[in-house]
Structure 1
Amino acid sequence: MPTQLGSRIPLASLIQTLAVAEYLNIRHAANALRTSQSSVSARIKALEEELGILLFERNTRGVRLTEAGRLFVERVSAGVDQLDHAVKTAGMAASGECGRLCIGIHALIPGSFLAELIGRYREDHPGIEVKITEGTARNAVMQLRANRLDVVFVAGAPELPDCHSRRIWSEPLLAVLPERHPLAGQPTVTWADLAGETFLVRHGGTGPQVHDHIVLRLAGRWPAPSILRFDIGRGTLLSMVGQGFGITIVGAATSLLPAPGVVFLPFADEPEPVPFSAVWSPFNQGTALRNLLDLAARMKRESDQ
């Protein structure tokens, strides 16, 4: 395949051509570029020979663009401007000043650690476009592996062989009961208290993990719990609890949501708070992602103090 002419022209020749077109004087252009007049003259002549086109008409006072030269300079000037913009944009992206960060989440509850993290990140890095996708942990990790997400935040501390993960924050686990429930007036509940209850869980968000946790904690207890799954949002789930459809369990951040008709009770026998982790690909070396993880680590230290 024949090589295109444009790919053989040195960028320096184009830049010197633009300078001569600006000053219409080879000596002045050479001074502006901090090079010799002979070097500029030689490059311009070599470019004209390569193109087979006369770009400048020489005279004793300087040079003048030919019509072909004027059209050539217009197109080259636009191309060099685009190249300059591309270089600057790439540099800003490499430094984390601009670009896009795609985040998978289970929920974004106002006042929660995750909401505060994303809010502070957007304040600190206004040039980064933050895109958020909500879904289950399983779906989020699948999108991460398909390079559609840069990082996902999930409940638990997953150990995935093809991903990096780090615990970011934790929340106590709470039982959510209707205000008129017999246990609603207690300061805490135990899992034994909830044996035989009807639990409501969601298909989305952390619903699958909540389902598995209930099954694990109440395995072998009698009477056995009933677990009903619904394709609903978090707010509707809390409303259903308030209306007496059943009970559920949530991380403490959910208690920040408006939830009339329900009470949130901590577990007396839950061994530790629920960890929440960031998961990302080891091949993602982007500065935007690193800045987010660094900010999360700083906020975690601040919250622990």
Structure 2
Amino acid sequence: MVSGNPGAVHTIVQQKLWEERLVTALHVDHALANQPALDWAQVASLPLILRNAQGELAVYRALVARVGNLDFSCEQHPVSRDALLEMVGMGLGATILCESASRHRANVAFRPIRDANAMIAIEAVWPKADRNPLRHRLLNFIRKHVARFTSAYPINEFEAPSTAMARARDRG
């Protein structure tokens, strides 16, 4: 990471907090919406639409790394996640997102991707020199809650920690 000072380079600290499963959002009338989970070959067969911001290709590159040699069709749009999901609901394609972002939407079905490489790490990243006590307290809070919920409510094969936490919250 480079700061506004041209000669200054800062070391970054990166810490994994949990892993989360990727899901495919597709129109409820699509034939694959009836499947309990999808694999990357099925996902690659869909007309995919992804978000990008100012030409950023990180999401596209992550998709390419996961689908391997499979051919796929993908359009990128500089829109919000909500707008992208509205496009899915209108039948304009399917998209991929974290399970924690898959809340109920009209005309959209969310299906987990079952392949092993469909898990992504949720990480905290900060400059090594940053000694902000609020960040340390926030990270400790997150670690405790993730550990507490994932041990008290084991995550099933296709469930993200955020879903396990919601399930635990609903149980009281």
- Encode CA deviations 1:238-273: one digit per residue, 9 max, x unaligned: 1101111111111001112x4110111111223352
3-state SS of 1:275 partner:
strand
Query: Structure 1: 5+ residue runs without aligned partners?
Result: 1-140, 148-160
Distance in structure 2 (CA, Å) of the matches to 1:263 and 1:281: 39
Distance in structure 1 (CA, Å) of the matches to 2:4 and 2:72: 37
Equivalence for 2:115: 269
Equivalence for 2:36: 187
Please report the TM-score for the alignment, with normalisation by the length of structure 1.
0.44
Distance in structure 2 (CA, Å) of the matches to 1:272 and 1:231: 24
From 10, 15, 23, the equivalent of 1:174 is 23
1:216 aligns with 2:65: yes
Distance in structure 1 (CA, Å) of the matches to 2:145 and 2:4: 29
3-state SS of 1:240 partner:
helix
Alpha-carbon RMSD: 2.2
1:303 aligns with 2:152: no
Range 179-188 or range 282-291, more displaced:
282-291
Q: Which has the higher contact order (CA 8 A, sep 6+)?
A: 2
The answer to whether the 8 A contact 1:164-1:281 is kept is yes
Aligned residues: 145
Equivalence for 2:73: 226
- Encode CA deviations 1:176-207: one digit per residue, 9 max, x unaligned: 11111111101111111133422111114xx7
Identical positions, percent: 26
1:162 aligns with 2:8: no
- Encode CA deviations 1:67-106: one digit per residue, 9 max, x unaligned: xxxxxxxxxxxxxxxxxxxxxxxxxxxxxxxxxxxxxxxx
- Encode CA deviations 1:9-45: one digit per residue, 9 max, x unaligned: xxxxxxxxxxxxxxxxxxxxxxxxxxxxxxxxxxxxx
The answer to whether the 8 A contact 1:173-1:270 is kept is no
From 81, 85, 91, the equivalent of 1:238 is 85
Question: Partner amino acid for 1:213?
Answer: A
Equivalence for 2:165: none
The answer to whether the 8 A contact 1:202-1:208 is kept is no
User: Which of structures 1 and 2 has the bigger CA Rg?
Assistant: 1
3-state SS of 2:102 partner:
helix
Question: Partner amino acid for 2:120?
Answer: V
1:146 shift after superposition: 5.2
